[in-house]
Amino acid sequence: MVKICCIGAGYVGGPTMAVIALKCPAIEVAVVDISVPRIAAWNSDQLPIYEPGLDEIVKQCRGKNLFFSTAVEKHVAEADIIFVSVNTPTKTRGLGAGKAADLTYWESAARMIADVSKSDKIVVEKSTVPVKTAEAIEKILRHNSKGIKYQILSNPEFLAEGTAIEDLFKPDRVLIGGRETPDGQKAIQALKAVYANWVPEDRIITTNLWSAELSKLAANAFLAQRISSVNAMSALCEATGANISEVSHAVGKDTRIGPKFLNASVGFGGSCFQKDILNLVYICECNGLPEVADYWKQVIQVNDYQKSRFVNRVVSSMFNTVSGKKIAILGFAFKKDTGDTRETPAIDVCNGLLGDKAHLSIYDLQVTEEQIRRDLSMKKFDWDHPIHLQPMSPAAAKEVSVAWDAYEAAKGAHGICILTEWDEFKTLDYKKIYDSMHKPAFLFDGRNVVDAVKLREIGFIVYSIGKPL
């Protein structure tokens, strides 16, 4: 029986390994992590992450060929294939701070593999890493190898949160990069055989190591660039009377451009787009390509502009001050169908409004009060570095409350901001909400989910991204 071990039981390691276990009954999969509470949650009825369809798969496989454990060294020693799916946040200090990927977790995983291995291993980069990371990992493993042979593969993950299971079941492509040596090619074939249990062969792409590593950064940069492009257009729409939904539709009808990923928003969030573009920018700078670095930097600058533009719009519409006014925040997760708040635009928008002394009442379907308070008390880039955690200042803590539903959040509010596109927000009883609010009642739709015409008939003053007032 082939044994797989995945180091890192997070948003990628958990769902990816659950799907491998489901699709490959002949493979034993162990997912290991240094976080005791995370592993305990994977072994409980309340999984540590919310992802549609995940619970059923874990229930079906757990204890059969899928195991979650903190016995990291034991499972690594026993495995034939080791996926490394640890976090790779942005560095907060030292060389490359604010841009470069922090590979501390990766390096410690690699050193541990070298320490405990007693048989040959295929080590798979699942985390998103800078180009040439495999070379560094190879060095660590080879110099500590005790005669054991390692093959490093790059197998970046392209799943999106909220649709992770769907994406893993039917990936657009699986990408495997490896060394162009006979041993490297053998390792590629071994990993390919795992995916071939459910992924059609023409969707499994094999490349050299550096192409695979760079393709992941490139794919995220292209995706984020599309959003910044449409968001930049949304500002121009507001200035000219064009409607961004109509523009996106017309542009997306060109088959060379395509209709997906063209929704204007308050800005993109998530743990990866910003981090991976910063990483790309840093790599370009290190390789003497400042023009290329500047090009990609703009994607992030437009995203920051979109978030601050939204805050400015709220404040300026509400007579240039939100001081002492209650603002309901509907949605805090970075997108619907997830409880993940990493780099969610809601953090910047809430902090912007708090900076203008607003009182916030926040409601999200999946995000806990504890998480919201933690997010609003952290410095940028610190979310993946728990060491820097600061408690929320008492003043800020008083200005934020967390509501159990949208109606409670909006009761007595002067304005509403929709920051996540949860389906629930499309079908709320907005007449009931309007009746419970101060007048004029403002609604700022950061996701273009409500029917602005109907809401205006009720009496709301509605502002939608990229649409005429």
- Which amino acids are annotated as binding site for NAD(+), given as ranges? 8-13, 33, 38, 86-90, 127-128, 161, 272-275, 342
Choice between 7 and 327, CB closer to ligand NAD: 7
- Choose the one of ligand UGA, ligand NAD, none that binds residue 15, judging by a C-beta under 5 to 8 angstroms depending on kind: none
Intra-chain end-to-end CA distance of the chain, in Å: 63
Nearest distance from C-beta of residue 109 to ligand NAD, angstroms = 4
Residue 72 touching ligand NAD (CB under 6 A)? yes
Tokens found for residue 74 = 């034991």
Residue 225 touching ligand UGA (CB under 6 A)? no
Residue closest to 361 by CA, chosen among 328, 383, 330: 328
Q: Specify binding-site residues.
A: 8-13, 33, 38, 86-90, 127-128, 161, 272-275, 342
- Choose the one of ligand UGA, ligand NAD, none that binds residue 279, judging by a C-beta under 5 to 8 angstroms depending on kind: none
Among 22, 66, 194, 223, binds ligand UGA (CB under 6 A): 223
Q: How far apart are CA 55 and CA 58, in angstroms?
A: 5
Cα-only R_g, the chain = 23
Q: What interhelical angle do 13-23 and 54-61 show, nearest 10?
A: 60
Among 157, 343, 375, 421, binds ligand NAD (CB under 6 A): 157
- Choose the one of ligand UGA, ligand NAD, none that binds residue 430, judging by a C-beta under 5 to 8 angstroms depending on kind: none
Residue 270 touching ligand UGA (CB under 6 A)? yes
Residues paired with 123 in a beta bridge: 82, 152
Nearest distance from C-beta of residue 33 to ligand NAD, angstroms = 4
Query: Are the C-beta atoms of residues 73 and 32 closer than 8 Å to each other?
Result: no
Beta strands in 181-302 (DSSP E): 204-208
Q: How far apart are CA 365 and CA 189, in angstroms?
A: 43
Torsion of CA 17, 19, 22, 26, to 10 degrees: -50
Q: What is the CA 173 to chain-centroid distance, rounded?
A: 19
Residue 161 touching ligand UGA (CB under 6 A)? yes
Choice between 41 and 428, CB closer to ligand NAD: 41
Out of 61, 237, 272, 417, pick the active-site residue.
272
Tokens found for residue 170 = 């039917």
Q: Number of residues in contact with ligand UGA, rule: CB under 6 A?
A: 20
Tokens found for residue 351 = 């902090």
Residue 17 touching ligand NAD (CB under 6 A)? no
Q: How far apart are CA 380 and CA 362, in angstroms?
A: 20
DSSP string, 407-428: HHHHTT-SEEEE-S--GGGGSS
Active site residue 272: yes
Residue closest to 351 by CA, chosen among 417, 407, 411, 408: 417
Among 16, 90, 128, 228, binds ligand UGA (CB under 6 A): 128
Q: Which amino acid is at 413?
A: A
Residue 171 touching ligand UGA (CB under 6 A)? no
Among 4, 6, 12, 264, binds ligand NAD (CB under 6 A): 12
Choice between 271 and 361, CB closer to ligand UGA: 271
Residue 353 touching ligand NAD (CB under 6 A)? no
Residue 38 touching ligand NAD (CB under 6 A)? yes
Query: Are the C-beta atoms of residues 279 and 217 closer than 8 Å to each other?
Result: yes
Residue 335 touching ligand UGA (CB under 6 A)? yes
Indicate which residues carry an active-site annotation. Answer: 272
Q: Which residues here bind ligand UGA, judged by CB under 6 A? A: 128, 157-161, 220, 223, 227, 261-263, 265, 268-270, 272-273, 334-335
